[in-house]
Amino acid sequence: MDLKFLLFILFTFWLPSYQLDCYKYNIKLNKNEVVSGFDTCLQLFSVHTTKGIVNAANRKRTIEGCKREILDVQGEKVEMFRCTCYEDLCNEQISYQQFLDNGYTMF
């Protein structure tokens, strides 16, 4: 059998793919929950509120770190920081002031 084919089978089926556990804010329960199976943990910080808005919905990798963006939220333009990280539970909710004190990072 071809070595490349054997390596393909090994990496595709026998080695576990690493998936992250992330925090995700549950609006109905008004609390964070741990969700599994993500490639990227995400946290949003609005410059107009005092706490971060947590979300864990990214299933594809993006650049790690924080980026300032203007997002359309229910028809309004909102200035936010979108922060991504790649360790289990790395998107723990912190205050916007702590985010500023950390130098615009989650850590």
Domains, in order of start, for the chain: 20-101 (2.10.60)
Cα 78 from chain centre: 19
pTM here is: 0.69
List pLDDT tens digits, range 58-105: 566 666 789 999 888 788 888 888 898 888 998 888 888 888 898 988
> Which residue, among 67, 66, 69, 68, has the nearest Cα to 105 in the 3D structure?
66
